[in-house]
Structure 1
Amino acid sequence: MKFLKLFKNSQVFKLALGVAILVVCYFGSKFFSQMQRLTSTLELIAKSNETQLELEKLLSIINSYDYSLRNYIITKDESYLQNRFLNRGIIEEGIKKLKILTVNDSVRNKDILTLEKLINYRFKLFRETLIAAKSSNVDRLGLNSKLKKSNDYTEMMKLFVYKIINSERLKTKFQNSNHQFELQDSLMTAFLLIILSLLILLLSFNKTNGDIEDLKQANDKLMLLNESFNAAEKTAGFGHWMVNLETNQYTFSDNMFRLMGVEPNAFESTLENSIKYLHPDDLEYVTQVHKDSLVNHQSTSIVFRFLTASNEVKYIMGVGSFTKDGNGNMIKIGVNYDITDQYKRTLELEENNKELKYINSELESFNNIVSHDLQEPLRKIQMFISRVEEKEFDGLSQQGRDYFSKIRIAANRMQTLLIDLVNYSRTIKGDKVFVETDLNKIISDTIQDLTTNIEEKSAILHIGQLPIIKAIPFQLKQLFINLVSNSLKYSQEDNIPQININSEVITEEEVSNYEIINKEDYYKIVVEDNGIGFKQEYAEKIFLLFKRLETDPKYSGTGLGLAICNRIVENHKGFIKVKSEPNRGSKFYIFLPKGDLV
């Protein structure tokens, strides 16, 4: 009871809490230190084991070289020498890996450098022995002497490698002992930490689970990468081949056979067997180019066709170049790519281009017809209407005057429609040359062109500071002429038209609504008026060709003006939006990309 009463004293409680915190901190730091040592020990053990494994692999490859060389000397079978370059590459990779594993161990790193020299000298002995074995007049005593020398050197090298391996094993044994000691000590510390701080262990447990899951995912990715590498040649649709100019011996990869429509190794790799699968129209040309290159040693790059046994035609891009093998023999290495799909798409694209040129030609003819052939009789109609109005109008009845007025209005509307059609076709076919364009000057020119319309309406224009962008100047001028003309045309009778043109910052709402990836990539130009407006539900319809809203007949139009605006903005890789409300006016938002995007 007296002990419990002690904790009721705040001073004693604070002291006990302080002591508990110090104990937790002490054991926590101790446990952390132990974990660090365990991790370091595991890394050393892993590196030591990996070093031993790599050294064993090197010895295995050297033994394989000895075996292959002896078999070749006995049987003269060249197949025993086929993989010697590949194995040499594996050895070089192994040495490179060993250098990395021992980079922090100067003594072991020095041993690896020594081993590298021993291996290089061993390969020199291999090469000398091989040359002696291939000699037409074989000196058996000399050859046996070289074999004995090679064997003795191999044994010496094995002793050196086993010395390193034994040293690494002793190191591993020592590290294992340290690891066991540290592990026991850490278990005791962990037990105390569990008693004092269960929450920390739970969090550590969750973290461990997460690490295990990450390790599993990394392992799965590694397995997938290995499988992808093994199937790379087949998946990529290419095959390689090689010919030795000294022996005239050809070698085809597995996928080289598949490109010809047969299974791997379906026939002996020779020129005579492979040209059977060339398209008859390409046979002479391809064969001649290849044979000429074997004489002048010039690289080749040609496109030809394979005709498979199933009569399938494959378009192939073949490239070849020359080099020398380890024996100094000149060889030609080639790679054949299956470009059938690409070739067909190219043909399709050429056909589409021809069709596009034809359409453009038709469009140009249409422009000429609209600009000249159709407008010429229309101008004559307007001229005769003007003359009749001057001389004969007073003699017409009231009904005749009404009919005549409708004729004049219809003729003017026809002229407007023809002009709009020409303008729209120019936005499609016109030269799209982007230059630095000052929008302030474009607006100034627009106002100057529309001075008469502005004065007739007594309109007030407020122009803000606009940016300089890369654009097609005449198209942007047409864009603002159409927008300002619309604002003037659809103004309210009892209100003075007010038109505001400004550059504004893109809002976060617009970024979301219009799926803008980066708002810094676009300029936003706003054209706002106080006209008759329209219902927001028609906001997309007004940009379609020949689409006009049901408005008062006094508001004439062709339904092309805003379609032209939309086309111009699309030509600049931008987009245009509008918000409107009946009798409250409209706001057109023009989003134009900055220079880099254009």
Structure 2
Amino acid sequence: MIKTLSNNISFLRAMLYISALVILVVGALTYRSVTEVTKSSEMITHTYKVNVELEQILSYLKDAETGQRGYIITNDSVFLEPYLSARNRINNSFAELKVLTKNTPQLKSKLIDVNTLINKRLIAFKTSYRSLPKKDIEDPNFKSNFRNGKTLMDSIRDQIKGVIKLQNNLLNKRSDEYRSDLMATPLLLFSLLLCSLILIYLAYNSIYKNIKRLKIANEELEIFKESTNQSEIVSKHGSWTWDQNNDVFTFSDNLYRLLGEQPQSFEPTIQNFMQYVHPEDVEQLSQQVENMKKNVELPYIYYRVVHKNGNIKHLKAYGKSIINDEEETVLLGTTADITDEIISFRALEERNLELERNNQELSSFNYVASHDLQEPLRKIQTFLSRLEDEEAEKLSDRGTRYIDRIQNAATRMRLLIDDLLQFSRSNKADKVFEESNINLLLEAAKQDLAEVISAEDAVITSDAFPSMTVIPFQIQQLFVNLLGNAIKYKSEKRSPVINITHQVIEADNDPQITKPTKPFYHKITFTDNGIGFDNEYADQIFVLFSRLHNKDEYSGTGIGLSICKKIIENHKGHIIAKGKPSIGATFIIYLPID
């Protein structure tokens, strides 16, 4: 959105520049057009004035000629008045023409010629009427002078007509230029104004679209601002900025709330902020602020603030510098209230201490279970054995049964203590993973169960295992428990047959693996042909002390499979049980591959 608005602003700026240029061009052309039209008008007026003055001169000469003829015919001096005044009038007209033709050398030269002929004609007028004998128009000298005057008059008339014709040609040319200017100028002005209107429309349309975008952007910003405020309130953090060039801070509303104040209740300065900092943290925080101003960066810092009501809050702050569009460096920071985290951390520390005490007590219990409990149990079994050997004949049948029951109870108690010790060892934190030969661990488990395997005539088959990174003694214990469990719950109709398989699988391709931690796993499957179980108890059999059968039917404490699950959890793997009553059980183990 911001990039689009920036591009539109550049477009508008270009449109304004072009529109201003077009307006200047229109103004210049208008001025030029008006100037040309004015000049053409002045030239036309000038031409008309020249022609009028020439026509006036010719008229004066005609009047003089008419007066002369009247005088000749009547011999009345009244008719000489036009002739006598013609000289002054003609001089006045030539004076006007001299002004009009000062910038036209060619016309000025022709007028000089005309003026010379006029002077000659006026002299001829004078000579003609003075040479006239009294009422004798047939006098040869008179006729000669009169004809000479006619010739001069014709020359003058021809010269003036030539000048007038030249002026008329010039007038026509200027009239054509004038009409051309009058026609071209409006068309050009209209075209330029049309272009200006188009540019103004484009600019207006762009401005209108920008206003709509800005309105949408403002609405989005308002929503974002409100959501940010709410987010700051919910997440208990506030934001702030520092303008390095002007050394000006701005605080968000929730930053004030973190200090226990109302939004914008004081001027956002470091000095005002420091008033809320815990006295023990002021010096350290001041030094960190100075480093922030020097480096324009603020790594994570921790300090406390004290509200006016005395509440102490733990805060965490962080800042990172950016450069804005005006090439100014601004530090953007965030401050979070981590009081709840501190309280939770301290509670966790207390729980860890309590857990450590419990572990120590558990270790003490293990010692008691492995030494203090087993010692009296051994004595009970020893004295029972002596009693059977030395006093058996003296005991009644009921006494013998009591002794047998005591012996069975002591045996079960020993098994329970041994299983508890094994389960306790599977929970110990000192688990050392080693690159191990799983085939050797399986063989060691078989050796541990060699007597029972032989007694039950059990058949065990297995695939070859690759080396794995495991806790060796726990994996061996796992194999012992699973093999012992399969043999214990054998079918009365057939000898135990246990098949162990291995394969490497991809976690994504096996739906049994939930929330995999590694992409590949070792899949080890134990399958037996024992009594099996109903699948609805598949999860229950891994619960500590859980038994699906009566203790009189099958010996055991219900801890073996719990130990198996704990071992697999220690390896961050999975164990799944499946069964079919009277057919057999299957245990599937998934161990992650690093």
Q: Per-residue deviation at 1:461? A: 0.8
Query: Of the candidates 32, 37, 53, which is equivalent to residue 9 of structure 2?
Result: 53
Q: Which residue of 1 aligns with 2:336?
A: 337
Establish whether residue 470 from structure 1 lines up as the match of residue 466 from structure 2. Answer: no
Cα distance, 1:594 vs structure 2: 2.5
Return the letter of the residue paired with 2:590.
Answer: F
Q: CA shift at 1:569, angstroms?
A: 1.7
The offset of 1:272, in angstroms, is 4.0
Structure 2 SS opposite 1:429 = coil
Q: For the Cα contact (< 8 Å) 1:506–1:519, is it kept in 2?
A: no
Q: 2-side partners of 1:371 and 1:587: how far apart? A: 33
2:248 and 2:294 mapped to 1: Cα distance? 16
The alpha carbon displacement at 1:586 in A equals 1.5
Identify which range, 370-379 or 552-561, moves more after superposition: 552-561
Q: Which residue is 1:283 aligned to?
A: 279
Matching of residues 103-114 of structure 1 within 5 Å: none
Cα distance, 1:228 vs. partner?
Answer: 4.3
Is structure 2 residue 251 aligned with structure 1 residue 253?
yes
Structure 1 residue 512: Cα displacement: 4.2
CA displacement at 1:365 relative to structure 2: 1.7
- 1:503 aligns to what? 502
Are 1:405 and 2:361 an aligned pair? no
Distance 2:482 2:528 in 1: 10
Quick one: structure 1 residues 231 and 382, their matched pair in 2 at CA, closer, same or farther if it must change by over 3 Å? Answer: same
Which residue identity is paired with 2:249?
T
Distance 1:474 1:592 in 2: 16
* 2:586 corresponds to: 587
**Which protein has the larger Cα radius of gyration, Structure 1 or Structure 2?**
2
- Contact kept, 8 Å, 1:499 with 1:528, in 2: the verdict is yes
**Residues 323 and 331 of structure 1 are in contact (CA less than 8 Å); yes or no, is this contact kept in structure 2?**
yes
Q: Secondary structure at the match of 1:345?
A: helix
Do 1:239 and 1:259's aligned partners in 2 also have CA atoms closer than 8 Å? no
**Which residue number in structure 2 is paired with residue 529 of structure 1?**
528
Decide whether aligned partners of structure 1 residues 514 and 355 sit closer, same or farther in structure 2, where only a CA change above 3 A counts. Answer: same
CA-CA distance at 1:338 after TM superposition: 2.5
Give the C-alpha shift of residue 314 in structure 1.
2.7
What is the match of residue 422 of structure 2? 423
Q: Give the CA deviation at 1:547.
A: 1.4
The one-letter amino acid of 1:53's match is: I
Q: Does the aligned pair in 2 maintain the 1:277–1:308 contact within 8 Å?
A: yes
**What's the TM-score once normalised by structure 1's chain length?**
0.55
Query: Residue 567 and residue 226 in structure 1: after superposition, are their counterparts in 2 closer, same or farther (change >3 A)?
Result: farther
Q: How far apart are 1:440 and its partner, in Å?
A: 1.9
Residue identity matched to 2:474 = Q
Q: Work out the CA distance in 2 between the residues paired with 1:328 and 1:53.
A: 19
Distance 2:422 2:440 in 1: 21
Q: Return the alpha-carbon distance in structure 2 between the equivalents of residues 291 and 520 of structure 1.
A: 48
Cα deviation per residue 1:165-216 (whole Å; 9 max; x = unaligned)? x99x98x99xxxxxxxxxxxxxxxxxxxxxxxxxxxxxxxxxxxxxxxxxxx
Q: CA deviation at 1:560?
A: 0.8
Q: How far apart are the structure 1 equivalents of 2:218 and 2:510? A: 39
Distance 1:369 1:346, change over 3 A: same
Q: Describe the superposition over 1:5-60 as per-residue Cα deviations: whole angstroms up to 9, x where unpaired.
A: xxxxxxxxxxxxxxxxxxxxxxxxxxxxxxxxxxxxxxxxxx99974533547999
Q: Counterpart of 1:361 in 2: which secondary structure?
A: helix
Q: Indicate the residue corresponding to 2:19 in structure 1.
A: none
Partner Cα separation in structure 2 for residue 221 and residue 501 of structure 1: 67
| Aligned CA distance change for structure 1 residues 547 and 227 (closer, same or farther; 3 Å) | same
Q: Residue in 2 aligned with 1:380?
A: 379
Distance 1:477 1:289 in 2: 57
Report how far residue 556 of structure 1 moved: 0.9
Give distance in 2, aligned partners of 1:262 and 1:504: 65
- Secondary structure of 2:264 counterpart: coil
- Deviation at 1:350? 1.6
Q: Deviations over 1:525-582 (max 9, x none)?
A: 1112222223333222221111112347242111111111122222222222222233
What residue number does 2:272 align with? 273
Q: What amino acid sits opposite 1:238 in the alignment? A: G
SS at match of 1:526: strand
Describe the superposition over 1:130-165 as per-residue Cα deviations: whole angstroms up to 9, x where unpaired: xxxxxxxxxxxxxxxxxxxxxxxxxxxxxxxxxxxx
User: Which residue type is aligned with residue 419 of structure 2?
Assistant: D
- Higher mean C-alpha displacement, 506-515 vs 471-480: 506-515
| Equivalent pair of 2:285/2:303 in contact (CA under 8 Å) | no
TM-aligned CA distance change 1:357 to 1:457, over 3 Å: same
Larger CA deviation: 462-471 vs 407-416: 462-471
Q: How do residues 198-597 of structure 1 correspond to structure 2 at under 5 angstroms?
A: 227-228=223-224, 232=228, 235=232, 237-240=237-240, 242=242, 251-255=249-253, 256-278=255-277, 282-287=278-283, 289-290=285-286, 294=290, 302-309=301-308, 312-318=311-317, 336-504=335-503, 511-512=510-511, 515=514, 521-551=520-550, 553-595=552-594
CA RMSD of aligned residues (A): 4.6
Q: Which amino acid aligns with 2:575?
A: I
- The 8 Å contact of residues 303 and 314 in structure 2, kept in 1 or not, is answered as yes
Aligned partner letter, 1:286: V
Note the residue ranges of structure 1 that are not aligned, 5 or more in a row.
1-46, 61-165, 174-219
Measure, in 2, the Cα distance between the counterparts of 1:519 and 1:319: 35
Q: 2:521 is aligned with what amino acid?
A: Y
Q: Secondary structure at the match of 2:522?
A: strand
- Percent sequence identity over aligned pairs: 36
The offset of 1:489, in angstroms, is: 1.7
Map 1:46-125; keep pairs closer than 5 Å: 51-54=7-10, 56=12
Contact residue 500 and residue 526 of structure 2 kept, 8 A: yes
Change (3 A) 1:580 1:336: closer
Q: Distance in 1 between matches of 2:359 and 2:515?
A: 33
Q: Tell me the CA shift for residue 436 of structure 1.
A: 2.8
Distance 1:59 1:355, change over 3 A: farther
> Offset of 1:292 from its aligned partner?
8.2
8 Å contact kept, 2:506–2:520: no
Post-superposition shift, 1:300? 7.5
Mapped partners of 1:504, 1:289: distance in 2: 59
Counterparts in 2 of 1:330 and 1:291: CA distance versus 1, 3 Å: farther
C-alpha change, 1:287 and 1:552, in structure 2 (3 Å) is: closer
CA gap 1:421/1:59 in 2 versus in 1, 3 angstroms:
farther
Q: Distance in 1 between matches of 2:555 and 2:309?
A: 67
Q: Give the whole-Å Cα distance in 2 for the aligned partners of 1:516 and 1:323.
A: 40
Q: Aligned pair in 2 of structure 1 residues 265, 537: CA closer, same or farther (>3 Å)?
A: closer
Unaligned runs of 5+ in 2: 17-194, 203-215
Q: What is the CA deviation profile of residues 343-397 of structure 1, one whole-angstrom value per residue up to 9, with x for unaligned ones?
A: 2332232222122212212221221111111111112222223333444435433
User: Hey, what's the Cα distance between the residues in 2 that align with 1:479 and 1:383?
Assistant: 32
Letter aligned with residue 238 of structure 2: F
Q: Which amino acid aligns with 1:561?
A: G
CA distance in 2, matches of 1:546, 1:49: 72
SS at match of 1:479: helix
